Structure 1
Amino acid sequence: MIVDLNLKGRNILVIGAGMEGAKRIKSLSNQDCKIIIVSETVNESLYEIEGKNTPIIIIRRKIEDPNIIDEFSDIFIVFASTNDPFLNKKIIARAKEKGILSYSMDDASSSDFFFTSIINIDETIQIAISTSGKSPLMSKIIRDRIENAIKNIIGKKDTDNIKIQEFAREHVRNYIKNQHERRMFLYSLVDDQEIQELVAKNNMNKVKERIINTLDKWEDNKGR
């Protein structure tokens, strides 16, 4: 089962920050989470993202004991990425004992989840290719093979409609209490010719205005 974890505001502990660890840290740096890195050596590329949008704390320290996890509180995920497979295994075991999600850089089978190869469309749509950790290489090869075709099918109109739906969902709860009726209203926006014409003209402010006006009329009709 593929899920999209919401890491906003979460504490992520990365133990070991070599080349492989740096790759995962960079992918996490766009998730609005707090990343704590503990490692004797740190890949130089990580200093380039330190202090930017995502809070990153780098602790230079030799790692010898998996109980280092106990020194940190409220950790959501532990990444074991040292260059010692045996130590990584012990880190994963300790994380599991504490009920913390864990990922091992060198042993996917012991991890609680797997990374996928992502097709990212306008930072709005993510399509994941997964082999359940069996072959990250094939995930990337398959992604490269289908990425252009997917982007030719899904375009700007789709991503704009997602933004419209997000706006509408934020407001519709204040007007329509019935879940089925809310769903029908959201579907109607996709079929609304005037709204779709405004989307094509990139007039998003007018779209939002029309949505609010439609909701106001819906509430007026209900009150009669």
Structure 2
Amino acid sequence: MQVEIWSDVVCPWCAIGKRRFEKALAQFAHRDDVQVRYRSFELDPDAPQERTEDLGEHLAAKYGITTERAEQMHAQMTQTAAADGWDFHFEHAKSGNTFDAHRLLHLAAERGVQDAVKERLFSAYLVEGERIGDPETLVRIGAEAGLDADEARSVLAGLRYGDEVRADEHQARAYGISGVPFYVIDQKYGVSGAQPPEALLEVLTTAWADAHPVSVLTPAGADGDACADGSCAV
């Protein structure tokens, strides 16, 4: 079974959603048969490589709210994330363009370390205040998560995987995805938002049952005797 997850590395709900999906997957009886692939989604494709203003000030201007309200929202998000094992520090966040981070994730997928790189990118931005749009920072982060630094640097110096990022984003529009995280199971079931683990587990179970229906066989000449309501003495 294939699970595709559209998300952005600067999205706090995506980081929380990753934790919750992992909890659901750990409880899923067929977890060893599930392939997970992270897909690209840029929340702000027009962002500069790095913003110089405070993240709270940026969000306040973007959404027409006060800086105090933006800081309250960050505090609420930090509290929510703590329940899922994250220690967010928005006061250190250095937001910027995530296109290169997504290109790095496509390289990571080919090298079999996408989950580790995704996790490291979330931590780098949301916890440690790393410069998420800086190529050299991305090279170091990728190397820490299992990528070859020279290969990562070569990829980010050129245009490699750019088309793959755009293809993911095109597919997101085709699915009608307007917010992340968004989960697509076997290209049939879609789930929006950082749902609780039990809800995600239910979707996984439903998708598995749909893909693996039980066929009831009756051997030739067999009566197939069985108990049913009212047919057996108890």
TM-score (norm 2): 0.25
Identify the structure with the greater strand proportion: 1
Higher relative contact order (CA 8 A, sep 6+): 2
| TM-score under structure 1 length normalisation | 0.26
